[in-house]
């Protein structure tokens, strides 16, 4: 399977084979990270720009290091210090960056569809690093990579995504990726944060935490997003923890080899008990390591020539 896409905008439009191509390529890049010399010249002479209009630390750093390990030059552009604050449009900002001969623009934006828009107005390759509540493709790819590495296969794998799903781009991208790969996805959380409409994406919705935990081979926890509008969605963080938090008591219900995942940043004592976050079941830090490999793979793949590229994406 070869890769012909110029951009990585979402998981929804990727084929199962394309998802697997990223995972297989990432495996090779993970091995590079384990060598004494962790750098390869695959993107030598290329310029990558991190255009982060919405704040982020871990994703930005991960992309930054990924680009550096591929020998690309990378510039970080953050909204707080930028001309976007002075009234410049996203299109003008991006065109200015492209005028610096940027080859790849990695964008995080609070508006869903911003990366798709840029891919239509720029010649550079565009990578979606999270757009509003829409998608966060590299997070889903690194989650899938970690699950495959630990569990071997997606066939019949029960994955429970627990928490604040309504506005979660991580959940959406995970659902697309995991259902394409053959896993069974269950969403769990309070009805206000996990509407039944998600069933249309091919997963189950469960508002009771116990059965969702009991059947899970993998539990992917999502943070309660304080910074988004949460008034009225549930009474208090304390009540959320008592009803849906992964506590020691609930951990006893899970399978003995259950995998605990979290995209970070974790809120200890809210969605996850502190000891569980540090337990042998937790692969939260391995997700960070794998994220670097997956982002190297994505940059490597979209940097290839695109002779058979069709249309916009």
Positions that interact with another protein (CB under 8 A): 1-4, 21, 24-25, 27-28, 31-32, 35-37, 39-42, 300-308
| Smallest gap from residue 228 Cβ to another protein (A) | 36
In sequence order, the 6+-apart residues with CB closer than 8 A to the CB of 234 are 190, 192, 193, 240
| Residue 301 CB, nearest approach to another protein (Å) | 5
Cβ nearer to another protein, comparing 188 with 298: 298
Biggest alpha carbon–alpha carbon distance for the chain:
57
> Rounded to an integer, what distance in angstroms lies between the CA atom of residue 131 and that of residue 202?
22
In this complex, which beta carbon is closest to another protein, that of residue 277 or of residue 296? 296
Q: How many CB atoms sit inside 10 A of residue 243's CB?
A: 14
User: Nearer to another protein by C-beta: 138 or 220?
Assistant: 138
For another protein, the closer CB: 31 or 121: 31
Strand (E) or helix (H) holding 276: helix 274-277
Minimum gap (Å) between residue 43 Cβ and another protein: 8
Taking the complex as a whole, how short is the minimal distance between the CB of residue 229 and another protein, in angstroms? 41
Distance of closest approach, residue 299 Cβ to another protein, in angstroms: 10
Of 35 and 85, nearer to another protein (C-beta) is 35
As to burial, measured by CB atoms within 10 angstroms (0-12 exposed, 13-18 middle, 19+ buried), residue 283 is buried
Sign of CA dihedral 149, 154, 158, 162: positive
Tokens of 40: 């390869």
């Amino acid at each position: 399977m070869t890769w012909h896409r110029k951009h990585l905008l979402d998981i929804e439009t990727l084929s199962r084979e394309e998802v697997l191509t990223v995972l297989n390529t990432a495996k090779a890049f993970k091995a590079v990270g384990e060598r004494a010399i962790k750098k390869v010249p695959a993107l030598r002479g290329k310029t990558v720009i991190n255009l982060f209009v919405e704040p982020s630390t871990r994703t930005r750093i991960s992309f930054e290091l990924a680009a550096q390990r591929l020998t690309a030059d990378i510039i970080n552009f953050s909204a707080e210090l930028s001309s976007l604050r002075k009234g410049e449009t996203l299109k003008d900002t991006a065109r200015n960056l492209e005028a610096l001969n940027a080859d790849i623009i990695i964008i995080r934006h609070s508006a869903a569809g911003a990366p798709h828009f840029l891919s239509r107005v720029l010649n550079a390759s565009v990578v979606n690093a999270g757009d509003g509540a829409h998608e966060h493709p590299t997070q889903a790819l690194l989650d899938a990579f970690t699950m495959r590495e630990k569990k071997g296969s997606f066939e019949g794998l029960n994955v429970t995504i627990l928490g604040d799903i309504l506005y979660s781009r991580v959940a959406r991208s995970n659902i697309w990726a995991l259902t394409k790969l053959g896993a069974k996805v269950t969403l769990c959380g309070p009805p206000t944060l996990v509407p039944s409409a998600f069933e249309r994406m091919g997963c189950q919705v469960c508002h009771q935490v116990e059965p969702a935990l009991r059947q899970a081979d993998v539990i992917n926890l999502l943070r309660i997003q304080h910074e988004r509008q949460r008034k009225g969605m549930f009474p208090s963080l304390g009540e959320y923890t008592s009803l849906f938090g992964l506590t020691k008591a609930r951990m006893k219900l899970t399978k003995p080899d259950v995998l605990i995942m979290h995209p970070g940043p974790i809120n200890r004592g809210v969605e996850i008990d502190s000891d569980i976050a540090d337990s042998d079941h937790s692969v939260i830090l391995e997700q960070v390591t794998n994220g670097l490999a997956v982002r190297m793979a994505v940059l490597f793949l979209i940097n290839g020539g695109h002779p058979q590229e069709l249309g916009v994406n």
